[in-house]
Amino acid sequence: MEERKKSMELLCSFYVSDWHIVTMILPYINTQINNGVKVATILEKDLENKMFELLEKLNLKNKEKMKQIDWKIKNGYKYETIQQVLLEKTQQQQLILVCGSKDFLEKTNQNIQKWYQNQKVAKIKVVNCYEVTEFNCHIQEILDYHDKILNTSGEREICEIFDGYQKSIHEAK
């Protein structure tokens, strides 16, 4: 049997409010669902009310699938939570949306990587969402850790968004 090549891609995103993150990620997640990608969330803040309110105002093909995504708070930094959330979604392609404080994101990403090492999932994307006011002084470090950036225009190379950006010699990966 042919073994599938595994790959993990890390994307970062920056937002200024809960409404901003919800309106920014909704089109991207809708596209991912259209492409057959399973979506899991690990959130430090509850986004359910804002997401549902926005979904009610839009006419989307995947509205019901978007509502089935768990937009509530999870203790994602705990490995047991990662296992529970992600094992339910295991398949060939998966998107994991992580949103929270710097500490929450770091611990959650460590546990996602630990979980991923023991899985047969072929392709996984992790979108780490950073609030601009909290992370503004660590922007180089954040960019160095990620492969791409997600903004309102979709998935982009970091150098397309941050003109002149070059990864530091001491990458965070």
Within a domain: 171: no
Between strands 7-15 and 38-43, the pairing is: unpaired
Identify the top-confidence range among 48-57, 58-67, 92-101: 48-57
Provide the whole-model pTM.
0.85
Q: Do the domain assignments include residue 79?
A: yes
| Residues spanned by the domain of 91 | 7-161
Examine residue 36 and state whether it is found in any structural domain, yes or no. Answer: yes
Between 121 and 67, the more confident residue is 67
Rounded CA separation 81/98 (Å): 13
Q: How far is CA 56 from the centre of its chain?
A: 23
In a domain, 167, yes or no: no
pLDDT number for residue 147 = 94
Q: Is 19 part of a structural domain of the chain?
A: yes
Mean pLDDT, rounded, for 44-48 = 92
Burial of 42 (0-12, 13-18, 19+ CB in 10 A): buried
Q: Which CATH number is 12's domain given?
A: 3.40.50
Q: How many domains does the chain have?
A: 1
Residue 2: inside a domain: no
Residue 127 forms part of a structural domain: yes
CB atoms within 10 A of CB 171: 10
Residue 60 has φ and ψ, to the nearest 5°, of -110, 145
What φ, ψ does residue 8 adopt, rounded to 5°? -125, 125
At 169, the pLDDT band (50, 70, 90 cuts) reads low
In a domain, 172, yes or no: no
